[in-house]
Amino acid sequence: MVVVIVLIILAVIFSNKGSKNKKGNDQSPSQGLDQRAMMDIVQKVGKNGHGNYWQNFKTRKPQEANAIETICGHNMDTLSDADAFQIVSTFLRWSKNSKTPITELKENFKKQMKALLANGATFDMLIDRLKIEKPKEAKQFNISEHFTITNYMYEWLIEIENEQNKDFITEKIAKNLNIPADKVDDFKKEINKAEEEQHLAPDISKLDREENKLFALANKGVNHLTEFSLLLDENKNYRLNENGKFEARIMCSTMVINLHSHFKNEIDMDEEVDRYFLLLVDSITGDYLDDEIDFINSRITFYKDSIKKIKENPYSKETELILSKIFYLLYRNPLSITFENDFQNDSETSEAKLDFRIVLEDVIKEMEVGRLIITSPSASKLKATFLSLLTNMVPESKREVVNQDLAALFADQASSMIKSGQIDGQLASVLPSNVIQLIKDCYSIINDNNELTEEQIDDVLSNVKDEYIKTFKN
């Protein structure tokens, strides 16, 4: 019943039938252009402009502009015209289809969600549903997932969850302090006031934005380096402890997003790189650093320069030195501020460092390809389509008889047909029609692409093949 109610709410919100004119024709806001075509034009012509559209909209519709700016969580003056147009269109559509003033959208949504939660829904259930619907809405209206109704719903749902968790903790503290029940609300207000005065940054760790996906990718790199440390030896000399994981997280972060090295104790929540930095700072779980921001800034500089030099000249003497420094910081003495001198006297074996070079090269490649898939719409679309193709090649009922070697053979054959645009005649006679269509779809993505290089296309296909093959037994 809960899921049915959620789907009804989403159906109302996503409705885009438009109004009828006197002749019975649909009259859309685009005056003849359909939604997708209009957004395509906006995204092309509005990328370089900043503030023009928004200033004009504020002049034409000051009440709606004030409501949108209050509710959307962005500084609209700093956004590109294309982004501002998408946000305005989303809230106007939402307000119209739900017959709710923009000023009341957030509170109404939160009331609906709290009612569902009270009637048996769970946060995981609701969040999973919104995650499924978000890309569908983005595709339907040709807008960024970040500016969809479902994304705002998602983020407001996380707000509700954080509020409930905070209330639970506050009530527990109040109980431990023997605060009377009739004084607990006042106690909560005092805590909220203190937090507002300190200008504490919000918890964005559970959101589903691009920076969250990039941060998760960086942590995959940390996991890779952790697994390597477990294989090095049985004496635990090179295990990646919590401090080492933080070092690795900074290093991998420099590979997935273009971090600068002059962060301060102020975060601009409209800047993706600042939001990423907030995630990074909040991930400190090892020894507390006296001045963690200055420390992270210095490490960003070191790792950015080091990875750049490793990629430019992987077998130089300078690179050997850099690898030794990184190895020392990750596995021997993480958070060291005197590592430039100390690492030379360390007793790590050359064999361990040789293995580390191979693993680090793998991590660098993993981070580069992962970043491409997250940040490039073409790469993301190619991955999703190719993965769907491979998944449909082997029916669920036949998966037990397919091992990784056979899966690799299927994947290589599919990849060859995609890149050539030629479907093998014999295979075509046995492949399901949906697989043949997906091969054509992948070829179209590559053929129509003006964003990805040939090397990047190969990287994406290889990434999908590796992911697919691992789903089968050895």
- Give pLDDT tens digits along the chain (474 positions): 555 555 555 565 666 544 444 444 444 344 345 666 667 666 666 566 676 889 999 999 999 999 999 999 888 988 888 899 999 999 999 999 999 999 999 999 999 999 999 998 999 999 999 999 999 999 888 899 999 999 999 999 999 999 888 888 888 888 888 888 887 788 878 877 777 666 677 889 999 999 999 999 999 999 999 988 666 555 556 778 899 999 999 999 999 999 999 999 888 888 999 999 999 999 887 676 678 899 999 999 999 999 999 999 998 989 988 998 999 999 888 999 888 877 765 555 566 777 889 999 999 999 999 999 999 989 999 999 999 999 998 888 888 889 999 999 999 999 999 999 888 777 778 888 899 999 999 999 999 878 899 999 999 999 999 999 999 988
Alpha-carbon span 179 to 185, nearest angstrom: 10
Question: Do residues 113 and 157 make contact, with C-beta atoms less than 8 angstroms apart?
Answer: yes
Question: Do residues 221 and 365 make contact, with C-beta atoms less than 8 angstroms apart?
Answer: no
- Nearest partner of 372 among 257, 466, 209, judged by Cα: 257
Alpha-carbon span 334 to 250, nearest angstrom: 12
Could you say which DSSP state residue 76 is in? G
Cβ burial, residue 291 (10 Å; 0-12/13-18/19+): exposed
Backbone angles phi, psi at 422, to 5 degrees: -110, 125
Q: Take residue 121 and report the two structure tokens written for it.
A: 């829904």
Q: How far is CA 244 from the centre of its chain?
A: 24
Question: Do residues 170 and 186 make contact, with C-beta atoms less than 8 angstroms apart?
Answer: no
Query: Which CA distances in Å does 323 have to 254, 317, 332, 344?
Result: 16, 10, 13, 12
Write down how long the chain is: 474
- Nearest partner of 116 among 157, 72, 149, judged by Cα: 157
**What's the pTM?**
0.83
Residue 116 pairs in a beta bridge with: none
Q: Take residue 198 and report the two structure tokens written for it.
A: 């300190």
Alpha-carbon span 38 to 8, nearest angstrom: 27
Residue 26 pairs in a beta bridge with: 20
Q: Is the dihedral of CA 227, 229, 230, 232 positive or negative?
A: positive
Residue spans of the domains in the chain: they are: 2-18+28-156, 210-370, 376-469
Alpha-carbon span 9 to 30, nearest angstrom: 25
Question: Do residues 221 and 359 make contact, with C-beta atoms less than 8 angstroms apart?
Answer: no
Alpha-carbon span 145 to 151, nearest angstrom: 7
Taking the CA atoms of the chain, what radius of gyration do you get in angstroms? 26
Alpha-carbon span 42 to 80, nearest angstrom: 11
